[in-house]
Amino acid sequence: MEEIEKQSKLRKMSGGNRLDSRLTLTYFAIAFVTLLIGGLLGLLQGLNRAGLLELPTNFNYYQVLTAHGILLVLVFSVLFVIAYFYSILSHTMDGLFPIVRKMGWISLVTMLIGVVFVITTVVMGTASVMYTFYPPMKASPWFYVGLFIVVAGIWIAAFGGFIQIAKWRKRNRGQHIPLLAFFAMGVFTLLFFGSLGVTAEVLMLIPWAFGWTETINVMLSRTLFWSFGHTFVNIWYLTAVSLWYVVVPKVIGGRLFSDTLTRVVVILLVVSNIPGGFHHQIVDPGMSEGIKLTHALMSMVIGFPSLMTAFAMFFVFARVGKKKGAKGVFGWITKMPWGDVRFLAPMIAMIFFIPGGAGGIAQNANQLNQVVHNTLWVVGHFHITVGVTAVLTFFGAMYWLIPYLSKRTLTPAMNKLGVIQTLIWTLGMVFMAGGMHTVGLLGAPRRTSYTTYGDSATAASWDPYLLLLAVGGTLLTIGLVLIVYIVFNLMFLAPKGNTEFPIAQGEDNASETPKWTERWSVWIMIMLFIVAFGYVFPLVDMIRNAPPGSAPFITW
Amino acid sequence: MKMHRYEKIWLFLAASMLVIAVVYSGVQTFALGQGPPSGVGMIDPEKVEETAPFDNPGISKIGENEYEVVMILRAFSFEPNEIEIPAGATVHFKMTSVDVMHGFQVIGTNLNAMIMPGHIQEAKQKFKKPGEYLVICNEYCGIGHQLMSMKIIVK
């Protein structure tokens, strides 16, 4: 026992387990190279939409857009999330178990093999189907094979996480798993269960794309896709939320809001999440208005834990502000360490979730959805939710997590560069997402290259706003280059030293967290029950009352 | 599980807001007849052109200032690609796709629907103001997606 304690102390002093940090740093390095490539493709799109750049036919807008979506939505975010939570498990549980570390490597190699298949087919022009790959548009079968391999890699990482947590619990009977590891448990649960539907879809698409089966059920495929699509968005969000609850209070010199309520938020987000996918299908045919309304309610429920989070965050800020002598309701604002990028980046991320979350709730109302469905509004929405709320929080983590892992330090100069990066990124998103929201309300469609629709006056009225996409995109590109430079600098060049892994403690008078929060078997059962409630009836209906299936089409 | 009194109030308000949004959406759908396009009819996507009513796409008058438009969507066009109606007319659209998924969005109105092969989508819209309405496909459907549009002329 003493020996273990000594070892764990040693590890903490040495900045984590070297073998673990080699794994997670590799993930982060690949993630940020992916971000750089995917982001630069985004700039090309922004310039095209503004009418400033015509893309060549062998590297056209739709190819670029497909690659942009896959690289950022699938590859960057998944690599980041796995690396972040593996770092957390390693730090809070005194190192990864050797089998788990091995699974981390196998997962990485598997995912990269899958990505090579996917990206090769996109570059060759045989898979310009967007990251949503709705049939009956048919990509090269190897595109779907690649997707399947990527998902298999994700599962390996998720099961590595489960094994780590199970083994730790066996060794630490009667103890709560650390709060950040509790978030990891939630995220790995969603990664696994949330990707089951899309796996079923891909397994139907593969034989169809090879020509072994003749037709595909279009509606079923689309529904299975969105059971995954929306869950993944919430995985990134839950990842960001973990940092808000646990890291941000420490950075500003405060304590946890409440260990129990934080765990309750995780549980609520996990159990309620998967049926949210239906709100992507509000204007679809083949589903009754009654089902759509039921699902409006089921999606709305996901907003509730976020409103709990909103309260928790401001409560923590106010409490810290008061301790530091702030007066009045908003006095805490002057007491926050705005110049500390570890605070500034996640704080701006949170602020953006106010319009982001509100926009989400509005879009979910059936009639308002009809106003914005498939317009650029939606693209603006997910660029402030994913691109700021999630991603800027991820960036914020890099300023302490990378030096912690690489045994280096964040210098004041690098902190300043981080602040500049954060502000440029924010401004870029204000222009780009602001333009997208506005022009989307005017009707400009998403996923459409520059067009005048035969010199239509209506389409011409969108042009000034579309110019904002290019302005914002250019600023974002500067921010992109900066963050990639910062991450690699912190990995390889920053001065050596020890960096703290900031984890806030509970209040001294905090009540003990009840044992029932640990009953993950119960939470997973409830989650499956809610998934069944949301999906069984519509899916059975889509399979039993299906129209004749669709043959494949290649329309690009 | 202890909760601050302010938190209870905040969460009560939050939950109320979410519930009211859904209830209002339900009122709009079932009491005001403003549900989202949800046609439940089906069709063999390979036999669209020989199946009624899609064997005869176009506009027809079905009542006092009421019209029905039967429309086929294909990469990358609408059939019919232009219709003309008097101001104040209510138009009932019946639409399907012969190939991939498409979108049907009438700019300047709230009419916006997914059109999928095998399914017959239905939507209705009253056109009060005269003018030329741009209609576009807003679901990526291939290399010519940005060219796919039509016009509704309201006189």
Query: What is the number of structural domains in chain A?
Result: 1
Whether A224 is in a domain gets the answer yes
Tokens found for residue A289 = 């208005």
Count of pairs with CB atoms under 8 A, one residue in A, one in B: 213
Report the percentage of chain B scoring pLDDT > 70: 99
- B110 to chain A, any CB pair closer than 8 A? The answer is yes
Low-confidence ranges of chain A (pLDDT < 50): 1, 13-15
Reply yes or no: is the peptide bond before residue B53 cis, omega within 30 of 0.
Answer: yes
- A466 to chain B, any CB pair closer than 8 A? The answer is no
Q: Which residue of B has its CA nearest to A510?
A: B2
Instruction: Tell me how far apart the alpha carbons of residues A424 and A478 are, in angstroms, rounded to a whole number.
Output: 7
Whether A485 is in a domain gets the answer no
> Residues A532, A298: contact at Cβ < 8 Å?
no
Q: Which residue of A has its CA nearest to B105?
A: A443
CB-based contact A304 B146, cutoff 8 Å: no
- A205 to chain B, any CB pair closer than 8 A? The answer is no
Whether A117 is in a domain gets the answer yes
CB-based contact B100 A137, cutoff 8 Å: yes
Of the candidates B38, B108, B136, the beta carbon closest to that of A292 is on: B38
Give Cβ neighbours of residue A157 (< 8 Å, ≥ 6 apart).
A82, A86, A103, A104, A107, A108, A188, A191
CB-based contact A283 B143, cutoff 8 Å: no
- A136 to chain B, any CB pair closer than 8 A? The answer is yes
Residue B32 has pLDDT above 90, yes or no: no
* Mean pLDDT, residues B109-118: 96
Q: Measured between beta carbons, which residues in chain A are less than 8 angstroms from residue B143?
A: 60, 62, 128, 555-556
* Mean pLDDT, residues B8-14: 88
Q: Measured between beta carbons, which residues in chain A are less than 8 angstroms from residue B11?
A: 304, 307-308, 311
Q: Measured between beta carbons, which residues in chain A are less than 8 angstroms from residue B108?
A: 443, 458
Q: What is the DSSP-derived secondary structure letter of residue B51?
A: S
Alpha helices in A94-195 (DSSP H): 98-123, 141-171, 179-194
Tokens found for residue A26 = 């590799």
CA distances from A453 to A9, A112, A377, A458, B72 (A): 66, 40, 19, 9, 19
Q: Which residue of B has its CA nearest to A303?
A: B18
ipTM over 0.85: yes
Of the candidates B17, B110, B116, the beta carbon closest to that of A284 is on: B116
Whether A32 is in a domain gets the answer yes
Which pLDDT does position A191 carry in this prediction? Answer: 96
Instruction: Tell me how far apart the alpha carbons of residues A164 and B13 are, in angstroms, rounded to a whole number.
Output: 40
Q: Measured between beta carbons, which residues in chain A are less than 8 angstroms from residue B100?
A: 134, 136-137, 553, 555
Tokens found for residue A385 = 């939710």
Sequence-ordered strand ranges (E) for A361-423: none
Which pLDDT does position B18 carry in this prediction? Answer: 87
- A458 to chain B, any CB pair closer than 8 A? The answer is yes
- B131 to chain A, any CB pair closer than 8 A? The answer is no
Sequence-ordered strand ranges (E) for A9-154: none
Whether A543 is in a domain gets the answer no
User: Residue A177 is part of a domain; what is its CATH number?
Assistant: 1.20.210.10
- A221: closest CA of chain B, how far (Å): 12
CA distances from A535 to A26, A276, A360, A366, A539 (A): 38, 10, 21, 19, 6
Which residue type is seen at A228?
A: F
Residues 255-284, chain A, touching B (beta carbon < 8 A): 258, 260-261, 264, 281-284
For A71, the domain range is: 13-236
Whether A546 is in a domain gets the answer no
Instruction: Tell me how far apart the alpha carbons of residues A146 and A108 are, in angstroms, rounded to a whole number.
Output: 14
Instruction: Tell me how far apart the alpha carbons of residues A281 and B53 are, in angstroms, rounded to a whole number.
Output: 26
Whether A27 is in a domain gets the answer yes
For residue A236, how many other CB atoms are within 10 A of its CB?
Answer: 23
Which residue type is seen at A506?
A: G
- A363: closest CA of chain B, how far (Å): 11
CB-based contact B21 A260, cutoff 8 Å: no
CB-based contact B105 A219, cutoff 8 Å: no
> Residues B84, B61: contact at Cβ < 8 Å?
no
The H-or-E segment that residue B97 falls in is strand B89-97
Q: Measured between beta carbons, which residues in chain B are less than 8 angstroms from residue A548?
A: 44-46, 118
- B81 to chain A, any CB pair closer than 8 A? The answer is no
Residues 22-61, chain A, touching B (beta carbon < 8 A): 60
Which pLDDT does position A26 carry in this prediction? Answer: 98
Determine the residue among A448, A451, A509, A513 to mutate to test chain B binding: the one whose Cβ has the most chain B Cβ atoms within 10 Å.
A448
Instruction: Tell me how far apart the alpha carbons of residues A434 and A387 are, in angstroms, rounded to a whole number.
Output: 13
Residues 28-47, chain B, touching A (beta carbon < 8 A): 28-30, 34-46
Determine the residue among A128, A311, A353 to mutate to test chain B binding: the one whose Cβ has the most chain B Cβ atoms within 10 Å.
A311
Give Cβ neighbours of residue A128 (< 8 Å, ≥ 6 apart).
A60, A62, A63, A66, A122, A139, A556, B143
Which residue type is seen at B61?
A: K
Closest CA to B25 of A371, A310, A305: A371
